Amino acid sequence: MKKLASRFKLQASRKSEMAQEHSRLVARSSQHHTGTPIFLSRNIGKKNWSLAANERGFTLLLSALIVSIVLALGASISGLAQKELTLSSIGRDSQFAFYTADSGAECALYWDVRHQIFSVENPPDKLKCGGQEASITTESNPPSTNFRFRYDSNGYCADVLVSKSPSGSGSFFTDIRADGFSANCDGIATNPRVLQRSVELHY
C-alpha cells in the first residue's frame, strides 16, 4: 500500500510539473505572438505618418500653385481695367477738346460775319466768346494779316487764329483755325496729357 501511494504521489507531481511546463510554454508562445503585432503596428504607424507628411507637402505645393495662378489672373485683369480707364478718359478729353475748338471757330465766324471786327485797316482789341472776354493780338504777315485770341471755355482752352488775305478784287479770303485743348490755357504747358483738336473754316 505504501508503494502504491508513493507511485500515485510521483505521478501527481509529474502531472503538476508537466502542467506548469505547459503553462510556461503557452505563456512564452503568447508573448511571442503578441509581440509581433505590436512590432507590426509600429511599422504600420510609421508608414501612415510618412504618407500623411507626403500628403501635407503635396497640398502645400498645390495651394501655392493655385495662389500663383489667381495672383497672375488678378494682375492681368487689373492691367486691362487700367488700360480701359485710360482709353475712356482719353476719349472723353478728346470730345471736350473738339467741342472747345468748335465753339472757338463759331465765335470767330460770328464776330467776322456779323460785326466785321477783323479789319485790316482798323484791327480790333477785344471780343467776347462764351461769356469770356479775350484780347486780340494782330500780326502782319504780308500779304496776310493774322488775328489771334485765346480764352477759357468751361475750364478748357480755345486758341483761335483768323487770317485775312486779299483776293485781288477788294475783298479778302478768310481762314479760321481754332485749336481746342483738354486743359485750361494756363495748364497746357505743364500738363503732359493734354489733347488738342482743331477745326478749320475757309471762306
Is residue 163 scored above 90 in pLDDT? Answer: yes
Nearest to 129 by CA among 176, 166, 172: 176
Band (pLDDT 50/70/90 cuts) for residue 40 is very low
Task: Decide the pairing of beta strands 156-166 and 144-153.
Answer: antiparallel
Is residue 159 scored above 90 in pLDDT? Answer: yes
Instruction: Report, as an integer, the average pLDDT of 129-141.
Output: 90
pTM score above 0.85: no
Domain boundaries, the chain: 96-202
CA trace torsion 50, 55, 58, 60 (10° rounding): -100
Q: What is the mean pLDDT of the chain?
A: 79
Q: Name the phi and psi angles at 164, rounded to 5.
A: -110, 125
Amino acid (1-letter code) at residue 116? Q
- For residue 83, the cross-strand partners are none
Percentage of residues of the chain with pLDDT beyond 70: 72
Contacts of 120 (CB under 8 A, 6+ apart): 145, 164, 172
| Cell 483768323 sits on residue | 162
| Cell 501655392 sits on residue | 64
Can you tell me the distance from the alpha carbon of 179 to that of 97, in angstroms, rounded to the nearest whole number? 8
3-state secondary structure of 132: strand
Is the preceding peptide bond at 123 cis, omega within 30 degrees of 0? no
Q: Tell me if 149 sits within 8 A of 137, measured CB to CB.
A: yes
Nearest to 104 by CA among 162, 50, 190, 56: 162
Can you tell me the distance from the alpha carbon of 180 to that of 178, in angstroms, rounded to the nearest whole number? 7
Instruction: Report, as an integer, the average pLDDT of 94-122.
Output: 93
Which one has a higher pLDDT value, 85 or 173?
Answer: 173
- When mean pLDDT is compared across 42-51, 54-63, 193-202, the lowest value belongs to 42-51
36 exposed, middle or buried (CB, 10 Å; 0-12, 13-18, 19+)?
A: exposed
Q: Tell me if 138 sits within 8 A of 121, measured CB to CB.
A: no
Is residue 50 scored above 60 in pLDDT? Answer: no
